[in-house]
Structures are given as C-alpha cells and as structure tokens.
Amino acid sequence: MSSTTSPRMSLVALACALFNPTALAAPAPASNGHAFQRRAVVDPFAILDEQKWVNPDNMTWDDFVAPPGTTWGDTSKPGRERNFNIAMVTVDYPDSPFAVTLEANSDIFNNPLPSAAGLKREDVPKFYLDLLNTPNELNEGHTLHEYWMGDSFGKYGVNLTVFGPYRMPSLSYQYGIDDEQGGFNEGACPEGPPCSVDLRTDALGAWRRDVGDEVADAFELAFILSAGQDESSTWQEFGEMKFASPADVPDEFGPPGNSSLPNSAKTRYVSWTSWAAASTIWPNAGGGSSTQGESSGMATFAHELSHLLGIGDNYNNPYSNPARRAYTGPFSMLDRGSFNGPGGPHTRYQIPPVQGASMGSLHTMRDKHQIKLIDSTPILQVSRTALSSSGPVVAKLFARAVDPASTESGIMGFNITLDSGGDKSPACNTSQDPLCDGGAYDNYNVEVIDRMGADSFTPDSGVMISKTRNSDRRQPFQWVIDANPEDAHVVDFYYPNGTARYWSIGDYRQLVDALFHAGTRSGSQFEHIDTANDVHIYILDTLRDETGVLSYTVGISSASSSNSTSKVASPYGLTLSKGTSAPLTTASSSKYSQISACTFTLSNTGSPSNATSSASHPQDLTKYLGQDIYKLSASVATEGWEVVLPNALAHAPFGGQTEVVVGVGRIGQGGAAAEGVKVVLEGVSVGGGVRASAACVVG
C-alpha cells in the first residue's frame, strides 16, 4: 500500500485590486429612512458602471483577486462543519503510462509540459496530490481545499489522500472508447478485446485489494485519476482544430496498427475527432466516485465533486443542430464555469493542467443552496404576486465571492417566486429558437458576480439575473437572462485551411456580456422587464468599497405597477426641486467645449403606511420596503447642446430625498453659449406612476 496525505501549508492571500467608483447615483437610505446624503459632483459624463468583459483566452494568473480578509487556502484550517474526506486513486495502463513520466512535449498531444516531465512512476501520486491540494508554485497557490472553503464561506474543506499507482488489466482505449449503442464513440472499438470496460470496477477493485475494505470504507468519496488525456479537453484541439477532415487524420492519431478502423472516430458533440482523442476517458461522476484524466484541471474535480454532492449538469451541446444557447455558461460550476482559468478553454488539453479548467467559477446562488453550501439566510424571498401590494423591494446585494455574514446587508441575492400560476412566459420552441429558455420555471434569481476568488476567471463583474427551477431533474434548471443576446461574433480558432471559426450560438462564451450593469451607456442593460410574469428588476446603483468588495443596489417591483401612468390619488408621491448648475472644467469626453452639471433634489413625498405591506411575501421584508424607485429622463432644447444622465434610475425612502446629477455639454463650438440653456429633468414613480419635472438653467 502506498498513501500520501497533503501537508498543512498556509496560502498567503493575494492583495485586492481596489476600484474607485464614480459616486453619482442615489445613495442607500440611512436606517431612519429619512436621511439625505449629498454626493460630490465628480463627472456626470463618466460612465457609472461600464461593462468590460474579458475573453477567457486573454486571462492570466494576474487576474486572480482574493476576497479581502480571507485565507481559504490555508490547509491547517478545516471546514467549519467538516472537510470532505476523499481518496484519490491513481491508475495507468499497459499501453499508456502517466504523461508526466515522459520527456517534455514528447507524446502526440505535445505533453507533458516542461514544468512537469520525466517523473518516476512512483512519484506521480504525490505529484498530483500536491497539484490539487497543496499550495505551491506550480498551482499558483490554489487548491481544492481553497475552492470549497471559499465557495461555502468556510463551511467545507477538502482532505485528499492519494493511493497507487495501480496498473489496470486492460488497455487504455478499452476504458476510454464508449462504443455501446448510443455511446460517444460508437463503432470506434478496434478488433480484439472489448471496449466500454468499466474503469471504476478495475480501479476501485485494485485499491480495495491493496488497502482493504476497512481503510477504503473510511473515505466518503473517491477520485480516480487516469493516466493520459481526457476526451472532454482533447476532442476539439485534436480534431477539427488540427485536421481538415476525418480523412486527414494521420496514422499517428489512429487506432492500433492491426485495426481496420479509420483514424477518426465519433465523439460527443460533433460527428468526428481523431481516434486518439476519442480513445480517452470522458470525466464523469456517480456512485460515490468520479473519473478524471491527467489533463483534467482542478475545476473538473470540483465539478465532479458537485455531482457527488447531489446535483446534475446544467450545460448544453454547444454544437447541436438545432442550436441551443448555453444555460448559465461561465458563471456556473455546473455549466462551463468548470472550463474557467487563465488561457481559456483551448488550453485544457495540457498536462499538467494549470490553465483552462484550473480554477472554475463558484456555484450559483441556487446551486449553493441545493448542495447545502449555504442556507436561506442570505437570500431574500420575494413573492411575484405580493409585489403589486407591497410596492418595490430594494436591497443591497454583495458579490457571491464574499461571505454574506461579513457584509453590511448580509444579503447575497433575491429569489422571486413565480407563484399563482407559475411561469407565464409565452411559449417558445427550442427546436426553432436557440434563445428559447424552454419555459416552466419556478423563480427568478438575482445575484452579484465579481471577478474575485474562484470567480476571478469569470468574464465580467455585474448582476446576474436568471430563471430557475426548484428541481435539477430537468435541464436547464437555471437559465441566465442575457443582457446582450446578440451574437458576440468573436473568432474561436482558425481551421487548418485558415478559415476563421467563430463562437457558435451555443458556445458558453456567448454569455461573456450577459451580466446587467448600473447606469446608462454601460454597454449592458440596467433593467429587466418580464411583462408576462409581472416582474421588473432594476439595477439601481453600484459600489466597490475601500476593501475591494463589490455590491449592487437592486430593486424589484411589479411590472404592471412600474408601467402605470395612473393620475388618480396614490400613496406614492414625487417632487423635483429646481436644479442648480455648476460649471465643470473637465469631463471624460473631449467632444464638448463647455460643460456643466445640473443638480436636482428628488423627494419621495409618499405615505409608507398606505403603500407597503410585507404580509404576503414568504418572509418579513419590512426593512426592504418603504422605498420607491424612479425612472428618470433629461432633455435640453437648445441646438448644439446635449444632456447626459449617468443613471436613469433613482430611489428614495418615503419622506426621504436623494440627488440627481445631469451633465450638459456644448458639442464642439456649435450652438449658443451657455447663457440661458435650459435642462429639464422628468421623473416617474415606479410604485404609483406619479410624475414630476423640474428645470435647471445653465449660465
């Protein structure tokens, strides 16, 4: 028996990159509900919350930002409840040694990398133990323990004990080729011994014979680490990306020499890949164990462990016909968030795996709750039906990478139940519309994603709005609302003949710009209106505090009340003061020869006792009610001048006030000088449709 357990080492948390936000939008009310905070005018022409998504291909380890004040990677600190006790069983084959025992770049997949080559076979188990769960230079200090501690806010860690190596009795392709009817590689098994051999039976059997049932039974889960590639990370790079057609695959990538099979084979998502790629295992989980290859990054292990905790996959076939959009893409560990890491998805074939798939995204709020990483405490439960009587619900939500218990509000997100009739979205056909969500959802979820912690390699920071199902038995059980549903039209790779291949409609990277952002001109959207389900979601404001923690103030209202234009008596009220102007000397845009800022005071003159009631919501939301949301617009009639409204939304408590700042600029030398230029601000109450307007004279 050989066994090694990871030593206890500390991971030094990386410094946070601080961000100085442009503070122009309405402030959150003070606890008494009537305080007024005045914000200094900085630059009303600046974009409040610009969307700056990053292509995963261009990410590096420098993108990692640790959540402030955390040391999740310190393996001397176990999970608050417990550590998962996991055995890792390492296996190789008569025809396939561990790639890291070979000379650098010597196999047909150009592996192993020089950073891990020429190891002795007996040293391989310890090498992969350290790669996965011991902070070191090769893994940049990131481990499975760190991932699960961060994902659960210290509730669960990982103890990993490694065993082996064990030599399997069958050839590697006999385990890798799935040639059963309907299998991934049907018809690809060479003449001779059978394929679709069960790796679990042989690997776990060898382990139990070595250590005995008593030792084996002490572990709650088992990872099987198989020598060589895994097909998930290899089929495309050593299929259509490398070879022009099935007929162009050379013998080097074909089956054994005594076989009459072609050098190509069927694979999971498209019609062909090289036989060599198809002959490797596809990672999977079930029955208390999971299988991975040497090319499977830490995120692959985290993804498969998620299954072992009782949750299914939530991903599409990116190349299906008819096409279907990704479900939650790079923002979910159960979707292609398991591909995240520096260098993008096309580096996932590399051994050792320290780029793509080396640091997967955190679980979504929905999935965290299902697998009991969190309870319901940080999730505000809102009833769709109750919104029409309670009025808007407003809360500050903090990034899901940050422990909600450490934040000002303690709130991670909203769960808006689509009660009284369920999902009322118009029917759509997934066979005809790739953007069709399939319907029959139970809730809306709203949560904040920041490129921090294990979310450092998601493509954007912002607000994720999604529709969710209560059960994961039907896919998709979570569907991200895409703020920019148009085709991103980004080159994925170039075929061998030089033709560009763009991201498919089903590619998970089509969701790189899906998050919602606060303010105008962000490149994204600041609201989501679902008229059929009577839900209106507003991104009211954003703030990154001095420690680097990102939060958004988000409002939820009935879509029917937010579209109201009623002028009858209402408990809601709104007044706008006459604006005051101040000249500015600099702006973020050079298009203006003269610039000024107009500042207005917006007052909520409504009566809260008549407007809000928390009684019909699933939980007491009293502290999140008592506010109104206002939609704003601004105009200037003077020729040659234009206005810029940094935020088209504001919010204020009943009896409270907030400021609205409007920029006004003279375009070049056109139009009149500033004297007498009139700016008009208009506002309408979301809660009751009450309207008001006010003017500001510049000069």
Residue 521 forms part of a structural domain:
yes
Give the angle subtended at the CA of 593 by the CAs of 591 and 599, to the nearest 5°. Answer: 95
Is the pLDDT score of 671 beyond 70? no
pLDDT at 85: 98
Q: What is the mean pLDDT of residues 535-553?
A: 98
Residue 569 forms part of a structural domain:
no
Q: Please indicate, yes or no, whether residues 579 and 552 belong to a single structural domain of this protein.
A: no
**Which H/E stretch holds residue 328?**
none
**pLDDT band of 8, cuts 50, 70, 90:** very low
User: pTM of this prediction?
Assistant: 0.93
Q: What is the mean pLDDT of residues 215-223?
A: 98
Amino acid found at 364? T
Is the pLDDT score of 363 beyond 70? yes
pLDDT at 566: 43
Residue 47 forms part of a structural domain:
no
Q: Please indicate, yes or no, whether residues 544 and 643 belong to a single structural domain of this protein.
A: no
Least confident of 423-427, 428-432, 560-564, 612-616: 560-564
User: pLDDT tens-digit profile of 434-480?
Assistant: 999 999 999 999 999 999 999 999 999 999 999 999 999 999 999 99
Q: What is the mean pLDDT of residues 303-313?
A: 97
Q: What is the mean pLDDT of residues 328-338?
A: 98
Instruction: Measure the CA–CA gap between 462 and 48, rounded to whole angstroms.
Output: 12
Taking the alpha carbons at both ends of the chain, their separation in whole angstroms is: 86
Instruction: Measure the CA–CA gap between 136 and 148, rounded to whole angstroms.
Output: 18
CA dihedral sign, ordered 588, 592, 593, 595: negative
Residue 145 forms part of a structural domain:
yes
Is the pLDDT score of 31 beyond 90? no
Cite the beta strand spans of 75-155 per DSSP E.
82-92
Q: What is the mean pLDDT of residues 402-424?
A: 97
pLDDT at 6: 40
**Which H/E stretch holds residue 540?**
strand 535-544
CB 329 within 8 A of CB 335: yes
CB 104 within 8 A of CB 166: no
pLDDT at 610: 53
CB 667 within 8 A of CB 592: yes
Reading the block at residue 417, the tokens are 């139940």
Beta carbons within 8 Å of 194's beta carbon, 6+ residues apart: 174
**pLDDT band of 571, cuts 50, 70, 90:** confident
| DSSP character string of 345-373 | GGGTT-SS--STTSSPPPPPHHHHHHTTS
pLDDT at 611: 54
User: pLDDT tens-digit profile of 643-653?
Assistant: 999 999 999 99
Q: Please indicate, yes or no, whether residues 181 and 211 belong to a single structural domain of this protein.
A: yes
Q: What is the mean pLDDT of residues 7-36?
A: 34
The percent of residues in the chain predicted with pLDDT above 70, rounded, is 91
Reading the block at residue 527, the tokens are 């609201």
CA dihedral sign, ordered 512, 514, 515, 516: positive
CA atoms within 13 A on the CB side of 474: 10
Residue 323 forms part of a structural domain:
no
Q: Please indicate, yes or no, whether residues 645 and 542 belong to a single structural domain of this protein.
A: no
CB 696 within 8 A of CB 578: yes
Residue 694 forms part of a structural domain:
yes
Which residues is 682 bridged to in the sheet?
Answer: 633, 693
Q: Please indicate, yes or no, whether residues 518 and 595 belong to a single structural domain of this protein.
A: no
Least confident of 165-179, 534-548, 615-629: 615-629
CA dihedral sign, ordered 123, 129, 134, 139: positive
Q: Please indicate, yes or no, whether residues 132 and 202 belong to a single structural domain of this protein.
A: yes
Reading the block at residue 326, the tokens are 């990704």
Neighbours of 159 (CB within 10 A): 20
**pLDDT band of 26, cuts 50, 70, 90:** very low
Is the pLDDT score of 420 beyond 70? yes
Q: Please indicate, yes or no, whether residues 300 and 430 belong to a single structural domain of this protein.
A: no
Is the pLDDT score of 672 beyond 50? yes
Is the pLDDT score of 674 beyond 90? no
Reading the block at residue 132, the tokens are 């996965």
pLDDT at 469: 98
Neighbours of 136 (CB within 10 A): 13
Parent domain of 666: 575-698
Q: Please indicate, yes or no, whether residues 523 and 398 belong to a single structural domain of this protein.
A: yes
Residue 344 forms part of a structural domain:
no
Is the pLDDT score of 25 beyond 50? no
Q: What is the mean pLDDT of residues 92-112?
A: 98
What is the pLDDT of the chain when averaged over all its residues? Answer: 92
Q: Please indicate, yes or no, whether residues 392 and 506 belong to a single structural domain of this protein.
A: yes
Q: Please indicate, yes or no, whether residues 89 and 163 belong to a single structural domain of this protein.
A: yes
pLDDT at 14: 29
Residue 343 forms part of a structural domain:
no
pLDDT at 257: 83
Q: Please indicate, yes or no, whether residues 457 and 393 belong to a single structural domain of this protein.
A: yes
Q: Please indicate, yes or no, whether residues 99 and 215 belong to a single structural domain of this protein.
A: yes
Domain at 618, CATH number: 2.60.40.10
Q: What is the mean pLDDT of residues 639-667?
A: 96
Neighbours of 175 (CB within 10 A): 26
End position of a domain, from candidates 556, 588, 606: 556
pLDDT at 562: 55
Q: What is the mean pLDDT of residues 177-181?
A: 96
Token pair 């059929």: residue: 532
- Please give the tally of structural domains in the chain: 3
Instruction: Measure the CA–CA gap between 502 and 509, rounded to whole angstroms.
Output: 11
CB 336 within 8 A of CB 354: no
Distances (CA, A) of 163 to 3, 145, 518, 623: 5, 18, 51, 54
